[in-house]
Amino acid sequence: MKIAIFCGSMSDRKLMKNAEDLLKELNILYIYYIISAHRLPDVLLKTIQKIEIKKVDVIIAGAGLSAHLPGIISSHTYLPVIGVPIYNYPNPLSGQDSLFSMIQMPKGVPVATVGINNSYNAALLAIRILSIKYDKIKKLLFKFKEKTRTKLIQKIEKNL
Amino acid sequence: MKIAIFCGSMSDRKLMKNAEDLLKELNILYIYYIISAHRLPDVLLKTIQKIEIKKVDVIIAGAGLSAHLPGIISSHTYLPVIGVPIYNYPNPLSGQDSLFSMIQMPKGVPVATVGINNSYNAALLAIRILSIKYDKIKKLLFKFKEKTRTKLIQKIEKNL
Amino acid sequence: MKIAIFCGSMSDRKLMKNAEDLLKELNILYIYYIISAHRLPDVLLKTIQKIEIKKVDVIIAGAGLSAHLPGIISSHTYLPVIGVPIYNYPNPLSGQDSLFSMIQMPKGVPVATVGINNSYNAALLAIRILSIKYDKIKKLLFKFKEKTRTKLIQKIEKNL
Amino acid sequence: MKIAIFCGSMSDRKLMKNAEDLLKELNILYIYYIISAHRLPDVLLKTIQKIEIKKVDVIIAGAGLSAHLPGIISSHTYLPVIGVPIYNYPNPLSGQDSLFSMIQMPKGVPVATVGINNSYNAALLAIRILSIKYDKIKKLLFKFKEKTRTKLIQKIEKNL
Amino acid sequence: MKIAIFCGSMSDRKLMKNAEDLLKELNILYIYYIISAHRLPDVLLKTIQKIEIKKVDVIIAGAGLSAHLPGIISSHTYLPVIGVPIYNYPNPLSGQDSLFSMIQMPKGVPVATVGINNSYNAALLAIRILSIKYDKIKKLLFKFKEKTRTKLIQKIEKNL
Amino acid sequence: MKIAIFCGSMSDRKLMKNAEDLLKELNILYIYYIISAHRLPDVLLKTIQKIEIKKVDVIIAGAGLSAHLPGIISSHTYLPVIGVPIYNYPNPLSGQDSLFSMIQMPKGVPVATVGINNSYNAALLAIRILSIKYDKIKKLLFKFKEKTRTKLIQKIEKNL
Amino acid sequence: MKIAIFCGSMSDRKLMKNAEDLLKELNILYIYYIISAHRLPDVLLKTIQKIEIKKVDVIIAGAGLSAHLPGIISSHTYLPVIGVPIYNYPNPLSGQDSLFSMIQMPKGVPVATVGINNSYNAALLAIRILSIKYDKIKKLLFKFKEKTRTKLIQKIEKNL
Amino acid sequence: MKIAIFCGSMSDRKLMKNAEDLLKELNILYIYYIISAHRLPDVLLKTIQKIEIKKVDVIIAGAGLSAHLPGIISSHTYLPVIGVPIYNYPNPLSGQDSLFSMIQMPKGVPVATVGINNSYNAALLAIRILSIKYDKIKKLLFKFKEKTRTKLIQKIEKNL
pLDDT of residue C1: 63
- Please name the residue of chain F whose CA is at the shortest distance from the CA of residue H8: F156
- Catalogue the E-assigned strands of F2-46: 3-7, 30-34
Across E79-83, G122-126, H156-160, least confident range? H156-160
Residues A84-102 have pLDDT tens digits of: 999 998 888 999 999 999 9
Domains annotated for chain H, with CATH where assigned, are: 3-158 (3.40.50.1970)
Name the average pLDDT for chain H: 94
> Residue A157 pLDDT more than 90?
no
- When mean pLDDT is compared across B14-18, D155-159, G14-18, H57-61, the lowest value belongs to D155-159
B79 touches chain A (CB under 8 A): no
Residue B5 scores a pLDDT above 70: yes
**pLDDT on residue F15:** 96
Contacts of C38 in chain D (CB under 8 A): 71-72, 74-75, 105-106, 108-109
Q: Is chain B touching chain A, with at least 3 CB–CB pairs below 8 Å? A: yes
Nearest chain B residue (CA) to A72: B38
Residues C21-71: tens digit of each pLDDT = 999 999 999 999 999 999 899 999 999 988 877 889 999 999 999 999 999
Distances (CA, A) of D150 to A7, D155, D156, E75, F69: 67, 9, 10, 15, 20
ipTM field: 0.96
* Contact yes or no for E35 and G117 at CB 8 A: no
C-interface mutation test, from D75, D87, D103, most C Cβ less than 10 A away = D75
Subunits with 3+ Cβ pairs within 8 Å of C are: A, B, D, E
- Torsions phi, psi for F71 (to 5 deg): -65, -45
pLDDT at res. G80: 98
Residue stretches of chain F with pLDDT short of 50? none
Q: What sign has the CA pseudo-torsion G107, G110, G114, G117? A: negative
The per-residue pLDDT for B132 is: 95
Answer whether C102 touches E (CB < 8 Å). Answer: no
Contacts 24+ apart (CB under 8 A), H42-50: H43/F153, H43/F156, H44/H69, H44/H72, H44/H73, H45/G45, H45/H76, H48/H73, H48/H76, H48/H77, H49/H76
Q: Is residue D154 pLDDT above 90, yes or no?
A: no
Return d(Cα A2, Cα A58) in angstroms, integer.
7
Read off the pLDDT of residues A123-150 as tens digits, 9 standing for 90 and up.
999 999 999 999 999 999 999 999 999 9
Q: Do C and D touch, counting CB pairs below 8 Å (3 needed)? A: yes
CB contact under 8 A, D36 and B153: no
pLDDT at position B159 over 70: no
Q: State the pLDDT at residue D91.
A: 86
Q: For position A1, what pLDDT does the model report?
A: 63
Q: How far is B45 from chain H (nearest CA, A)?
A: 14
Q: With an 8 Å Cβ cutoff, is C145 touching chain A? A: no
Is D65 close to C109, i.e. CB distance below 8 A? no
Inter-chain touch H94–B94, beta carbons under 8 Å: yes
Whether G159 has a pLDDT exceeding 70, the answer reads: no
Model pLDDT for residues D12-38, shown as the tens digit of each residue = 999 999 999 999 999 999 999 999 999
Does residue G85 carry a pLDDT above 70? yes
D154 Cβ under 8 Å from any chain C Cβ: no
Which of F5, F13, F33, F40 to mutate against chain D (most D CBs within 10 Å)? Answer: F40
- DSSP of chain D: --EEEEESSHHHHHHTHHHHHHHHHTT--EEEEE--TTTSHHHHHHHHHHHGGGT--EEEEEEESS--HHHHHHHT-SS-EEEEEE--TT-GGGGHHHHHHHH-PPTT---EE-STT-HHHHHHHHHHHHHTT-HHHHHHHHHHHHHHHHHHHHHHHHH-
Interface present between C and H (3 or more CB pairs within 8 Å):
no
**Which chain C residues touch A94 with a CB distance below 8 Å?**
94
The residue that leads in pLDDT, F156 or A55, is A55
The pLDDT of residue H1: 63
CA distance F145 to chain D (A): 32
E38 touches chain F (CB under 8 A): yes
Closest Cβ opposite residue B10 in set H117, H148, H159: H159
Q: What does the mean pLDDT of chain C come to?
A: 94
Residues F95, D105: Cα–Cα separation, whole Å? 25
Residue B103 sits at the chain H interface (C-beta within 8 Å): no
Inform me whether the pLDDT recorded for C16 exceeds 90: yes
CB contact under 8 A, C101 and D106: no
> How far does E91 lie from chain G, in Å, by closest CA?
9
Burial code (b: 16+ CB inside 10 Å, e: under 16) for F102-126 equals bbbbbbbbbbbbbbbbbbbbbbbbb
- Other residues' Cβ atoms within 10 Å of the Cβ of residue B131: 20
From the CA of C98, how many Å to the nearest CA of chain D?
A: 7
- Residue in E100, E105, E118, E129 to test binding to D, most D beta-carbons within 10 Å: E129
**Number of neighbouring beta carbons within 10 Å of residue C120:** 22
**Is the pLDDT assigned to residue D52 strictly greater than 80?**
no
| E touches G, CB cut-off 8 Å, minimum 3 pairs | yes
Within 8 A by CB and 6+ apart from E135, the residues are none
Chain B contact for A88, CB < 8 A?
no
- Touching chains, A (3+ CB pairs < 8 A): B, C, G, H
pLDDT of residue B160: 60
pLDDT digits (tens, 9 = 90+) for B49-87: 888 778 899 999 999 999 999 999 999 999 999 999 999
Q: Cβ–Cβ of G152/E39 closer than 8 Å? A: yes
If pLDDT is split at 50, 70 and 90, which confidence band does A159 have?
A: low
Nearest CA in chain B to A42: B76
